[in-house]
Amino acid sequence: MSKPMTKTQLVAALAEEMGTDKKAAGAALDAISALITREVSGGGAVTLPNIGKIYCRERPERMVRNPATGEQFKKDADKVVKMTIAKALKDSVNG
C-alpha cells in the first residue's frame, strides 16, 4: 500500500489539474474544507459528486468494554462523522 497523498502534494496536483498556481489551488482546497466542516458540524451533509457523501450521525448511549482490563462502562451519546463512498468511485477502484 502506498503512502497517502499529503496536503502539499494534493495542492500541487490540484494546481496542475486546474491550470493555476499553487496559491489559488491551496485557497480553493481550504475553502472546500471549511465549507464541508461547517455544513457537517451543523448537522447537514455534503455530497461530493463521484466521490461520496459526508455526514454526521448521532450514536446512542451504550455499554463499552476496556480491552486492557475487561471493565465495562457506559459511554455517553456522541456524534460521529461518516462517509458513504459513491458507486462511481467504487467502480473505478474495482474496475
State pLDDT tens for residues 15-67: 999 999 999 999 999 999 999 999 999 999 999 999 999 999 999 999 999 99
User: What confidence score (pLDDT) does residue 19 get?
Assistant: 95
76 vs 62: CA distance, rounded Å: 7
CB count within 10 Å of CB 54 equals 18
Domains of the chain plus CATH, in order, are 1-42 (no CATH), 45-95 (4.10.520.10)
- Residues 56, 80 contacting (CB under 8 angstroms): yes
16 vs 30: CA distance, rounded Å: 17
Q: Where is 55: in which H helix or E strand?
A: strand 52-59
